[in-house]
Structure 1
Amino acid sequence: AKLHHNSIRFKIDTKKSVLDLEAFREMLHISPRIPNQPFADLPTEEEILDFLRFLGHSHDIRYLTDVNVNKLYQPWRSFSSVINNCLTGKSSGVDSFRLSQAQMLWGFYHRINIDFAYLIWEDFVYQTTQQYGAILPIELTTAEIRNSKAYKEYHACEMGEATPKPKASARKKKGDSASSTTPP
């Protein structure tokens, strides 16, 4: 499978297929609850942090990375762990949230008509691409770092000159058939 910004291209047996967000929504039978009414806008990260504080997160949180699911009260801790486990296929003692997962919890709690397919899609794309946050200042990099292959790829992605490559687990491995891929 090849991940593109807006679609996933894959091959099953000899048939090539493309899956985009709209097809993904249709496949999951996710549509607005009320016909002809669009999905509600998703909350910002700051609104999500306020929401998590409202749910009783027991430690100070300034950023989403400060959120530990285990610091939420029940039933929110269990519900959050279920969302995380369903999307990532794993669970650990220190589960954390990505923004899309926290927005799902927010949508379930408030019973608001949000685009869950989009959030699941975003979570899937997050798991299969490299993530770069910001350009490193030149003062923090040496000539050796700037000349490395990894830094050049990072810089090209940040400048919009290239798209991030899928993680190794999402690329075809030796010995795999053309129709199989490693799930994210």
Structure 2
Amino acid sequence: MNPQETQQVAARDEKWVPFTKRVKISSTNKVQGTDSYEFLLANKKCVVNANFFRTILDICPRVEGVSFTDVPDDDTTLAFLIKLGYKGPLYKHTNMFVDHMHQPWRTLTAIINKCLSRKTASNDKLRKSRIDILRGMFYRDNVNYPELIWEDLAYQIDHRKEKRSRRENMAFP
């Protein structure tokens, strides 16, 4: 981001939530034996899991009375990537590169990566949760997006102590 863009982003953020009123997360810990995380916000503990996260985002199934569709297995995910015209060797989703996709899908995956991790580069890879988000958008399925975003957030929290050059910036908190 160039300096002018940085100033514009800071001005926009300051307009919506003044710096003095922003709440900072002081610590994040995984709750033992669960899929929940405990955040310390302004000296108050808040335990969050995927269901609570869905409530926060106020996202419900698109069709009332119809539950979310299940996330597909790895083979279905690979078949989906091949259907999109992935042009590199693909044996499992962890070895796929965004720049081996056709242009419209490359752009959409770059947007998903940018929104969830502030990361965009030609050698980006997509985690399974992000591929599932792309697949849900492509097929217009009744996908549980908060759960997929939560899975991505949990991964980033669990791996935040990795070497700084290898980890992604966590955009969520």
Q: TM-score range by the shorter chain?
A: 0.7 to 0.9
Larger relative contact order (Cα-Cα within 8 Å, sequence gap ≥ 6):
1
Deviation at 1:167, TM superposition (A): 2.5
| Residue 165 (structure 2) pairs with residue 167 (structure 1) | no
Tell me the TM-score normalised to structure 2 length: 0.73
For residues 95-121 of structure 1, the C-alpha deviation after alignment (integer angstroms, 9 at most, x for no partner) is 101111101100000000010111111
Partner of 2:29: 2
Query: Cα RMSD between the aligned structures?
Result: 1.9
For residues 25-45 of structure 1, the C-alpha deviation after alignment (integer angstroms, 9 at most, x for no partner) is 011121101122110111111
Question: Equivalent pairs: percent with the same residue?
Answer: 33
Deviation at 1:183, TM superposition (A): 4.2
Match of 1:29 among 22, 41, 58: 58
> Which residue identity does 1:3 align to in structure 2?
K
> Which residue identity does 2:161 align to in structure 1?
K
Deviation at 1:3, TM superposition (A): 2.4
Partner of 2:114: 85
Query: Which 4+ stretches in 1 moved above 4 angstroms?
Result: none
What SS is found at the alignment partner of 1:94? coil
| Residue 93 (structure 2) pairs with residue 99 (structure 1) | no
Deviation at 1:59, TM superposition (A): 1.3
What SS is found at the alignment partner of 2:53? helix
Cα 1:70–1:128 change in 2 (3 A) is same
For residues 32-68 of structure 1, the C-alpha deviation after alignment (integer angstroms, 9 at most, x for no partner) is 0112211011111111111111111111211112211
What SS is found at the alignment partner of 1:75? helix
- Would you say how many aligned residue pairs link Structure 1 and Structure 2? 137
Deviation at 1:168, TM superposition (A): 6.2
Contact preservation (8 Å) 2:85, 2:101: yes
Cα 1:8–1:64 change in 2 (3 A) is same
Tell me the TM-score normalised to structure 1 length: 0.68
Structure 1: runs of 5+ lacking an equivalent:
131-165, 170-181
Distance 1:6 1:31 in 2: 20
What SS is found at the alignment partner of 2:103? coil
Q: How does 1:57-68 map to 2 (within 5 A)?
A: 57-68=86-97
For the pair shown, the structure with the greater C-alpha radius of gyration is: 1
Match of 2:84 among 51, 55, 58: 55
